[in-house]
């Protein structure tokens, strides 16, 4: 029985690796074309935002602030403006705080241990694990919503229930994580002590053909990609899925498909999130990062909601309220 399971896990890995090889999206922070810092920026930007939407923001951001030291020296207003419409703009200020710690305490190089990473401002378990795996090439199970969904469906035949990650889910992720060939890590890029590094010049735009990364990193990325593009929450494309022959969830007839949501999907129109976004957008588009009260009131006719949103943006340090009710981006 144990032998059968091991064989099946091995088959699943081989299929996923082969699929990843042919289908991985060519995102600019993949395949060793950026620094560990660049990987961290991509991960922070991708939280709650689709990766494909992140690409132009990440590209501009890394051109302006290629490392932690340059971001640490940027003003808050600049950073909030560059964050554009990525959403959840507090992340921009937290990233700047993180940059200050990395440049001040770690000599502008991302720390190499999980504990040091997770202690950085704004960096949680997922981002620390992702950087350890994708940037430093360490063997660690990365667990995000997509990975939880795929693992649960394929190996357990049930939907992942959402909410906090359970110890059983962590154990499952750890138990199927492939071992790494020690040679793979050293064959990586030329980065600042990590797996990845700038290749420079014309090559920077192209996926390096000889690129190899540890099996564990490829496994984590492959699962995540499969969950984002094939094994989606509501409409898994089982017909084209490379794991279909081994998927217990498919075998069971997709029981309770999509049931997991513990929180109903929030509508966006009319929410405080939308109004906050509109206020920040008006500030970004204003000439000096400042708008009058009259202009503010054009953003939302519901004064109570408007003032609530202004107060919460003020609390988050994303704007400054003038005595006359005008608003400006922070210095
Ligand atoms: S077969 Fe269907 S449910 Fe199973 S992993 Fe593939 S897409 Fe997901």
Whether 45 and 81 share a structural domain: yes
- Domain assignment present for residue 267? The answer is no
Whether 158 and 17 share a structural domain: yes
Segment among 58-67, 208-217, 236-245, 304-313 with least mean pLDDT: 208-217
Q: Return the ligand 1 atom nearest residue 238 CA.
A: 2
Whether 143 and 20 share a structural domain: yes
CA of residue 45 to ligand 1 center, whole Å: 27
Segment among 13-27, 52-66, 201-215, 296-310 with least mean pLDDT: 201-215
**Section 45-71 average pLDDT:** 95
- Domain assignment present for residue 67? The answer is yes
Distance CA 225, CA 20 (A): 8
CA of residue 83 to ligand 1 center, whole Å: 34
- Domain assignment present for residue 265? The answer is no
- Give me the pLDDT at residue 168, please: 92
CB 111 within 8 A of CB 73: no
How many other C-beta atoms can be found within 10 angstroms of the C-beta atom of residue 254? 15
Mutate to test the pocket of ligand 1, among 16, 159, 222, 231 (most ligand atoms within 8 A of CB): 231
Q: Using N-to-C axis directions, what is the helix angle for 272-285 and 303-315, rounded to 10°? A: 70
Q: Return the ligand 1 atom nearest residue 242 CA.
A: 6
User: Is 43 tagged catalytic?
Assistant: yes
**What residue numbers bound the domain in which 120 lies?**
2-251
Q: Which residues line ligand 1 (CB under 6 A)?
A: 150, 153-154, 230-231, 236-238, 241, 243-244, 247, 249-250
Q: What is the CA radius of gyration of the chain?
A: 22
Whether 121 and 214 share a structural domain: yes
Mutate to test the pocket of ligand 1, among 249, 254, 257, 259 (most ligand atoms within 8 A of CB): 249
**Section 50-70 average pLDDT:** 96
Mutate to test the pocket of ligand 1, among 224, 241, 245 (most ligand atoms within 8 A of CB): 241
Going by CA atoms, what residue is nearest to atom 1 of ligand 1? 244
Whether 51 and 166 share a structural domain: yes
CB 71 within 8 A of CB 319: no
Burial label, 186 (beta-carbon count in 10 A; 0-12, 13-18, 19+): exposed
DSSP state of 321: E
Whether 172 and 29 share a structural domain: yes
* β-sheet with 290-291: strand ranges across: 290-291, 327-328, 320-321
CATH number at residue 140: 1.10.340.30
Q: Kindly report the CA angle at 241 between 239 and 242, in degrees rounded to 5? A: 130
Instruction: Specify which residues 321 forms β-bridges with.
Output: 327
Higher pLDDT, 311 or 198: 311
Q: Return the ligand 1 atom nearest residue 241 CA.
A: 6
Whether 203 and 303 share a structural domain: no
Whether 149 and 65 share a structural domain: yes
- Domain assignment present for residue 256? The answer is no
Going by CA atoms, what residue is nearest to atom 4 of ligand 1? 247
Nearest to 68 by CA among 117, 113, 132: 117
- Give me the pLDDT at residue 186, please: 43
Distance CA 198, CA 328 (A): 37
CB 290 within 8 A of CB 283: yes
Q: Which SS3 state, helix, strand or coil, does residue 69 take?
A: helix
The per-residue pLDDT for range 71-96, each reduced to its tens digit, is: 999 999 999 999 999 989 999 999 99
CB 173 within 8 A of CB 149: no
Going by CA atoms, what residue is nearest to atom 2 of ligand 1? 238
Q: Using N-to-C axis directions, what is the helix angle for 90-105 and 76-83, rounded to 10°? A: 130
- Domain assignment present for residue 262? The answer is no
Cα first-last separation, the chain: 63
Last residue in a domain, options 251, 285, 320: 251
- Domain assignment present for residue 49? The answer is yes
CA of residue 259 to ligand 1 center, whole Å: 15
Whether 35 and 150 share a structural domain: yes
Spot the catalytic one: 7, 43, 97, 204.
Answer: 43
CA of residue 155 to ligand 1 center, whole Å: 11
Last residue in a domain, options 251, 286, 308: 251
Burial label, 155 (beta-carbon count in 10 A; 0-12, 13-18, 19+): buried
- Domain assignment present for residue 261? The answer is no
Q: Return the ligand 1 atom nearest residue 254 CA.
A: 3
Residue 198 predicted with pLDDT over 50: no
How many domains does one find in the chain?
A: 2
Residue 22 predicted with pLDDT over 60: yes
Whether 247 and 276 share a structural domain: no
Which two three-digit tokens encode residue 63? 């051109």
CA of residue 80 to ligand 1 center, whole Å: 39
Whether 38 and 84 share a structural domain: yes
Residue 110 predicted with pLDDT over 90: yes
CA of residue 247 to ligand 1 center, whole Å: 6
CB 178 within 8 A of CB 216: yes
Q: Return the ligand 1 atom nearest residue 149 CA.
A: 8
CA of residue 148 to ligand 1 center, whole Å: 13
Compute the half-sphere exposure of residue 96: CA atoms within 13 Å on the CB side of its CA: 21
**Section 256-262 average pLDDT:** 73
- Give me the pLDDT at residue 266, please: 60
Whether 26 and 150 share a structural domain: yes
């Amino acid at each position: 029985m144990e032998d059968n399971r091991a064989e099946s896990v091995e088959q699943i890995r081989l299929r996923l690796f082969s699929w990843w090889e042919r289908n991985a999206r060519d995102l600019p922070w993949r395949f060793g074309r950026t620094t560990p810092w660049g990987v961290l920026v991509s991960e922070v930007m991708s939280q709650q935002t689709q990766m494909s939407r992140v690409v132009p923001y990440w590209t501009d951001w890394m051109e302006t602030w290629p490392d932690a030291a340059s971001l640490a020296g940027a003003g808050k207003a600049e950073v909030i403006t560059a964050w554009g419409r990525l959403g959840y703009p507090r992340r921009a200020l937290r990233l700047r705080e993180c940059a200050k710690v990395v440049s001040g305490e770690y000599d502008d190089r991302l720390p190499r241990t999980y504990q040091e990473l997770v202690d950085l401002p704004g960096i949680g378990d997922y981002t620390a694990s992702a950087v350890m795996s994708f940037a430093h090439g360490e063997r660690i199970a990365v667990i995000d919503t997509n990975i939880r969904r795929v693992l649960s469906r394929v190996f357990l035949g049930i939907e992942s229930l959402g909410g906090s990650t359970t110890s059983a889910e962590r154990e499952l992720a750890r138990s199927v994580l492939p071992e790494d060939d020690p040679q793979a890590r050293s064959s990586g890029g030329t980065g600042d002590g990590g797996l990845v590094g700038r290749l420079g010049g014309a090559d920077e735009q192209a996926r390096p053909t000889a690129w190899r990364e540890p099996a564990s990193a490829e496994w984590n990325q492959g699962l995540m990609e499969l969950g984002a593009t094939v094994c989606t929450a509501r409409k898994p494309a089982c017909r084209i899925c490379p794991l279909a022959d081994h998927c217990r969830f498919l075998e069971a007839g997709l029981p309770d498909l999509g049931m997991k949501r513990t929180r109903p999907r929030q509508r966006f129109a009319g929410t405080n999130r939308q109004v906050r976004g509109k206020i920040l957008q008006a500030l970004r588009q204003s000439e000096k990062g400042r708008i009058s009260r009259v202009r503010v009131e054009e953003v939302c006719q519901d004064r109570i909601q408007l003032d609530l949103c202004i107060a919460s943006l003020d609390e988050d340090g994303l704007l400054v309220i003038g005595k006359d009710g005008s608003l400006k981006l922070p210095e």
